[in-house]
Structure 1
Amino acid sequence: MEADCPTRTTSITKLTAVSAKPVNPGTTHSLSPMDHSMALHSLHLIFYYPESTFGSQDLEFLRVSLSEVLCSYPPVTGRLTRGRDERWEVKCNDAGVRLLSRKVACTIDEWLRTADGLEESDLTLWEDLPGDPSIWSPFRIQINEFEGGGMAIGVSCTHLHADFTSLAALFKSWSEVHRSKAIEHQPIFQKPILTGRPKPEIAKSPLIQYYETKSTASSPSVKMATATFLFSDSALKKGVLESQDRCPGTTSFDFLAALFWICIERLKNTKNFPKSSLSVCVDSRKFVKPPLPFRYFGNALHFSQLSLPKEDMCCSGVAEVTRQIHDHVTNLREEEFWSAWEWLMLRKSGSPFRMYGPELTCVNMEHLSVYEMMFQDGSRPVHVSCNIGNIEGEGLIVVMPSREGGSFARTVMVALPEEEMDKLCEDQEILQLEPIFILRQRK
């Protein structure tokens, strides 16, 4: 937030939402090795709804429907505790979800035009994991009412508990219950679906070396800035179709990951390094066999690394780098996921590390149907933000669906060291696609 721009949000109430149905005493929820590895990060989804979505009495109705949906999500209302092996687990004790309401001193349209990424953080409720989390709520919900009736609902949680697919599914279930609909994807919490598989080879493969390097790497702490780029369907169609001529099946994610990787690489003073590396994060639910259900609640992410010679990146252009990213993602194998899973399980130190970094990381969230999450039939969000806490290193790119819909339109959220963000937003190769900038953070 700029120094001369005071906060426009005011706290109204602080409550706790509990499940409408008590959980069985003694119920616990175990956390997987992948869950534990993500504990340094937090997740924040913010859904912006137009003025017509909620009435004056809907805040209390939202709390009622939240209590109903929490009956299906016992780990969400529980509290962290140490298990027998000193690893975290969730004691499902119905302690509840922290719920905060705030007023925002502007309209929703004005906010999206003038707020930056730092001010947007006022719309989510978050505190870092304390030393003793026995009374600390790992899930937080903040309901923000704008002047004129618009609303933003911010949902936050520890990355230790869930990934974005799971957090979005929780939100979707809430919106369905609020509309008196059946929950489409009843959550699955059991971990046996991730066990009983043939043990993979844990050799010094490039993937395992990548994870080992990541687990011991450190990054200088620099101030990060954020910006959101809205790309229209027509603007991306030409670039994606040209890439498909060279590489059939190319997606908007492939194209945008390549574009931003090249543009960000040009900003960095790393001439002494002949190669550039990109960490690629995808949801692995579909590429393991049998596929993990969409409703599996937890972390099912897969991180991998693609490295290319810088000279080739500069000479070959976006289309060739797009092909390289597409081939990398489509050639991911189930064995790689299980190798990473087994390596995390066998680590002598179970301590978490920064999964998003230190190299530039690009996250594919194209599969999230966030604009279908309605609390009133026909009233879709006007924007959805997707933020990850505790980011360090070279930066983060998150590719999400767009409210516009269409086969190609996407929203791209970027976090970079502050001195690089203004230069990225002036990059002519990006500007040729005529993005709309919102929630842009400046020096």
Structure 2
Amino acid sequence: MAVMAFSAATATGKPDAVDTMVEVLQTSLVKPIKPTKRHIMYLSGVDNMLGYSLPNRTILFYRKEKTSSSAITDLQIAVSSVLVPYYPLAGRIILGDNSRHALDCNDEGVELIEARCDMDFAELERGNFDMHPNFRRLAPMDNATASNNPHDPIVSIQVTGFRGGLTVGFAVLHSAADGYSVWSFIKALSEVCRGKPLSLHPLHARILLKPEVFKNGAIFPKEERRSADEDVPQFAVQLSSEEQDNNMEPLKQKVIHFSSTMLSVLRKLGVAQGSDSEPGIFVSILGAYLWRRLVIAQRLEEKSTTYFRVSMDIRSRMIPPLTPSFFGNAVMGFPLTLTVGELINGDLSQVAYFIRCKLKEAEDDHIKKLLTARHDLDLTKYSQSRRKVMVRNASRFPIYDAGDFGWGKPEAVRPPWEEIEGHMTWYPGKEPKSIDVILAMTESTYTNFFSTDLHVGDPLSMFPLCRSS
């Protein structure tokens, strides 16, 4: 039995006087309930690039008086069953020639960890599940990548029992799955736990993203295409290189709740430059709002350049389209640049329109050119910058339904920790049509971000977001 101690801390990472103990009770490997076909699976250029990124990690919080051992038993049964259709997740990432990864489908299993925390769950509730450095101990694979060890599991799940509640922390190596695929896997687990049939069966066909395959006109499996409004774009704000290199301050983490009313105000601004039914209206205006507010808070020079990176789900954008069942990494990045002056002095709806125009570039021809470039990239010379601020947009994923493993829907969903200033994760809020944005900032940026004096004319000035925190 291993014991890990960590201190209760504020959002700045400074320890308090009281220590909180997280004790790992047991760790096991769960294999598929029956053997699957052993083979080496091709990983695309996108998979390989993301293999050097940090894992997808998420924590679900539950108030119910469910013991960690009971929850572990439920998940053991569900995982062993779900790993038959999701068999690559039971394999291991191996490193071949030219630093390229492949997936050894060998049924070695998924890691399942039972732990306990000496803390009242009600204490988390009273703080509205605001960010805490201890959260990073509630999800496995902190700072892991696909290249760390070929024997490491692709998936690790940790159930941590609190007094009066529990958490389930998921970690999945990024080379194996993007956010959409991870939530498909979580949803499958919840369906099996509740005795339901799988609503989506995964399609393991990464070869469809190999240039020589799509260039030869391969026919993708036929399935109804998702509407454009169901696309799940992700956003990233990338700081100027000078600002990043000097950004060594401790980070404060903040959960900003955007109510349905607040989002409605922003949406009306977005519609000013387009139709209400135009794809990307909602995400572009919220992205523009956060991008501008963050840059104002950073007090950057107006002549400097600021970068906004849009990562798009390409499943429905290729011709013929991939299906929602496609399992793996089907996301591509599209960078935008503005000077700080253009961003902070321009009309917010124009910035949102600028973002939407960039989204429209995510069409088949452009996507396939980028896929080819990713595939041909010399990974021996590729260095993933940990200073890039990558924002996960999970605001349209069915998180609360997908997280119901038979003991109720989660009370909240959080990432373990945001590593870089400006790094944001978007989750749906518990209130219908609301969003929780988890944002990391330095102390000075944090103060400026919530200052009313710096954000004169802010469209959400009448809401709590814009008041000093």
Shorter-normalised TM range? 0.7 to 0.9
SS of the residue corresponding to residue 272 of structure 2 reads: helix
Q: Secondary structure at the match of 2:334?
A: strand
Equivalence map 1:236-247=2 (5 Å): 236-247=263-274
Cα 1:170–1:334, aligned 2, differ >3 Å: closer, same or farther?
Answer: same
Q: Which amino acid aligns with 2:163?
A: E
**Letter paired with 1:413:** I
Query: Quick check: 1:401 aligned with 2:428?
Result: yes
Alignment-mate amino acid for residue 370 of structure 1? I
Confirm whether residue 67 of structure 1 aligns to residue 77 of structure 2: no
Q: Separation in 1 of the partners of 2:295 and 2:76?
A: 46
1:106 is paired with a residue whose SS is strand
Provide the C-alpha distance between the structure 1 equivalents of 2:151 and 2:349, rounded to a whole number of angstroms.
52
Task: Name which structure has the greater RCO, CA cutoff 8 Å, separation 6+.
Answer: 1
Where does residue 77 of structure 1 map in the other structure?
A: 90
Relative to structure 1, the CA distance from residue 159 to residue 113 in structure 2 (aligned partners, 3 Å threshold; closer, same or farther) is farther
Contact 1:280 1:362 in 2 (8 A): no
TM-score normalised by structure 1 residue count: 0.83
Query: Match of 2:105, as an amino acid?
Result: C
Match of residue 203 from structure 2: 188
Cα pair 1:50 1:382 within 8 Å, conserved: yes
1:30-429 to 2 correspondences below 5 Å: 30-38=42-50, 39-51=52-64, 57-83=70-96, 87-114=100-127, 116-127=131-142, 128-129=144-145, 133-148=149-164, 150-195=165-210, 196-198=213-215, 220=245, 222=248, 223-249=250-276, 251-271=281-301, 273-350=303-380, 352-354=382-384, 358=388, 361-375=390-404, 379-386=408-415, 391-392=419-420, 395-406=422-433, 409-417=434-442, 419-426=444-451, 429=458
Stretches of structure 1 lacking an aligned partner (at least 5 in a row):
201-213
Question: CA separation in 2, counterparts of 1:197 and 1:116?
Answer: 43
CA 1:424 to 1:167, structure 2 compared with 1: closer, same or farther past 3 Å? Answer: same
Higher alpha-carbon deviation: 55-64 or 120-129: 55-64
> What stretches of structure 2 of length at least 5 have no aligned partner?
1-8, 218-237
SS at match of 2:430: coil
Distance 1:54 1:192 in 2: 42
Residue-pair matches, total: 416
Counterpart code for 2:359: V
Compute the displacement of 1:262 (Å): 0.7
Contact 1:43 1:388 (C-alpha < 8 Å) held by counterparts: no
1:436 CA drift (Å): 11
Indicate how the Cα distance of structure 1 residues 372 and 337 shifts in structure 2: closer, same or farther if over 3 A, else same: same
CA distance in 2, matches of 1:111, 1:285: 37
Q: 1:261 to 1:199 in 2, by over 3 A?
A: farther
What letter is aligned with 1:51?
K
Paired with 1:431 and 1:96, the residues of 2 have a C-alpha distance of 50
Superposition deviation, residue 67 in structure 1: 1.3
> Paired residue for 1:9?
22
Q: Is the 8 A contact 1:224 1:415 kept in 2?
A: yes
Is the contact made by 1:19 and 1:94 (CA closer than 8 Å) also made in structure 2?
yes
Q: Pick which of 135-144 and 302-311 moved more.
A: 302-311
Distance 1:57 1:131, change over 3 A: closer
Question: Residue 397 and residue 276 in structure 1: after superposition, are their counterparts in 2 closer, same or farther (change >3 A)?
Answer: same
Per-residue displacement from partner, 1:15-51 (whole Å, max 9, x unpaired)?
2222111223x42222111011112322101122231
Q: Distance in 1 between matches of 2:411 and 2:270?
A: 30
What amino acid is the match of 2:375? M
Alpha-carbon shift at residue 426 of structure 1 (Å): 4.1
Amino acid at match of 1:161: A
Q: Distance in 2 between matches of 1:415 and 1:333?
A: 32
State the alpha-carbon separation in 1 of the partners of residues 122 and 285 from structure 2. 30
Q: Secondary structure at the match of 1:324?
A: helix
Cα distance in structure 2, aligned partners of 1:112 and 1:290: 46
Change (3 A) 1:295 1:53: farther
The alignment partner of 2:20 has SS state of: coil
Alpha-carbon distance, 1:166 to partner: 0.9
Distance 2:49 2:147 in 1: 17
- Paired with 1:272 and 1:243, the residues of 2 have a C-alpha distance of 24
Q: In the TM superposition, what is the alpha-carbon distance from 1:70 to its structure 2 partner?
A: 1.3
SS for the counterpart of 1:71 is coil
User: Offset at 1:140?
Assistant: 0.8
Match of 2:348, SS? Answer: helix
- Structure 1 contact 398–412 (Cα < 8 Å) conserved: yes
- Rate the CA distance shift 1:227–1:396 in 2: closer, same or farther, 3 A: same
SS in 1 for 2:19: coil
